[in-house]
Structure 1
């Protein structure tokens, strides 16, 4: 049964690629939306987990819509969510009712619900013990994936993993700067805030993240202001 479904999905992806030349990661995300009852999908590469209030080095590979892209950005901003949990555990994170997970993700869950997500499902992109990132799905109404939908999502996450590996060919696995990453300026801004405050990079990122969260901004928006020098952090205030 599982092998038949895998072959079916591979045939569909081959047909997709024949009509739309694109990366296998992009095609796998779009096929997830078609084959499962989800509203959107996104794939992200991570090089490591955040420690001490820092952030993982990561890049958004593809998102099927603005909500999916927003959910990826939100997890980067608040430093929690299903993407990071899936990457840490090496197993799927399946949440059928996001509103009930406010204790688990006190910052991510309510903000994600405001974005329009009611259920989230994250699958690690990994080969053996090597984890590369996650495939993240969301639904705008609560409810679990069916057994067959879960099977398809697992197959497509495997396809996306091999797509990421193909895209990484010729790049250092720790370097995600080549990706279509909307957060490139964050690293530049963190260096500037580090100098402004006289702290390490992780502390600078923590201050930027707090500023973003308390003002209902994305971390990318804060970074743009820092780089444009319209926002400067001091040791007395969040920024001015």
Structure 2
């Protein structure tokens, strides 16, 4: 059955590719929305900023999102530092949450904000080639409910397609290098470097300060980063930035 599903999906993607001039990642995300009874899909590349005591915080670059809510969910996870995308990347396996309201204790910062954006269920799948983890394919529904067995099969097939698409887009870049992505998250890590120098702290602490400021002031993390890089916002030893 799985092989038949794969052949069907590849045929549909070939038709999509002939009709739309977009990346394989974008085609896979769009086909997820059509096939899986979901409201939106997004794909990200993740890379580790550093190592230390087993605590490694991934950097992220948005590759594709089918709508603003999908993009918002990806940005939210970077802002609060938790969520299904980060868990699936760390675990190397799918994270399937059919009812986000029942998972408040798992992601206390992510869950209420994600529900406010309109997500009622989230499903995250690791993008990987062999043992190399590249990122995640993230899906959401605006009503609770699990993926059916057929939908799960199709999601895994489309995840493979998206992973191959990420490899095509990398085009010689190292998997830890997200500078090739035209995404504001690259600026986040430039800002983290500046905050690190301002406060004389580690990169991890600098990122936490940026995330905390964004969350507390209800400002997108990318906007906080732009303010730091433009030097209109500076972090001090005091609790708040100035």
Per the TM superposition, whether the score is higher than 0.5 is yes
Give the ranges of 4+ consecutive aligned residues of structure 1 lying more than 6 Å apart after TM superposition.
Answer: 49-54
- How does 1:61-76 map onto structure 2 within 5 Å? 61-76=63-78
Does the CA-based 8 Å contact 1:87-1:134 persist in structure 2?
yes
2:150 aligned partner = 148
**Separation in 2 of the partners of 1:50 and 1:10?**
37
Deviations for 1:135-169, whole angstroms, at most 9, x for unmatched residues?
00000111111111111101000111111111112
- How does 1:135-214 map onto structure 2 within 5 Å? 135-214=137-216
Does the CA-based 8 Å contact 1:207-1:238 persist in structure 2?
no
**Separation in 1 of the partners of 2:58 and 2:135?**
10
Q: CA deviation at 1:57?
A: 2.1
Q: CA deviation at 1:54?
A: 6.6
Does the CA-based 8 Å contact 1:54-1:205 persist in structure 2?
no
Q: TM-score, normalised by structure 2?
A: 0.95
Unaligned runs of 5+ in 1: none
- How does 1:43-62 map onto structure 2 within 5 Å? 43-48=43-48, 55-62=57-64
- Quick one: structure 1 residues 139 and 54, their matched pair in 2 at CA, closer, same or farther if it must change by over 3 Å? same
Count, aligned residues:
240
Higher mean C-alpha deviation, range 12-21 or range 212-221: 212-221
Q: CA deviation at 1:55?
A: 3.5
Q: TM-score, normalised by structure 1?
A: 0.95
Unaligned runs of 5+ in 2: none
Deviations for 1:167-193, whole angstroms, at most 9, x for unmatched residues?
112212211111132212111211211
2:25 aligned partner = 25
2:8 aligned partner = 8
Select the residue among 83, 86, 93 that pairs with 1:84.
86
- Quick one: structure 1 residues 94 and 189, their matched pair in 2 at CA, closer, same or farther if it must change by over 3 Å? same
- Quick one: structure 1 residues 50 and 144, their matched pair in 2 at CA, closer, same or farther if it must change by over 3 Å? farther
Higher mean C-alpha deviation, range 28-37 or range 47-56: 47-56
**Separation in 1 of the partners of 2:116 and 2:86?**
20
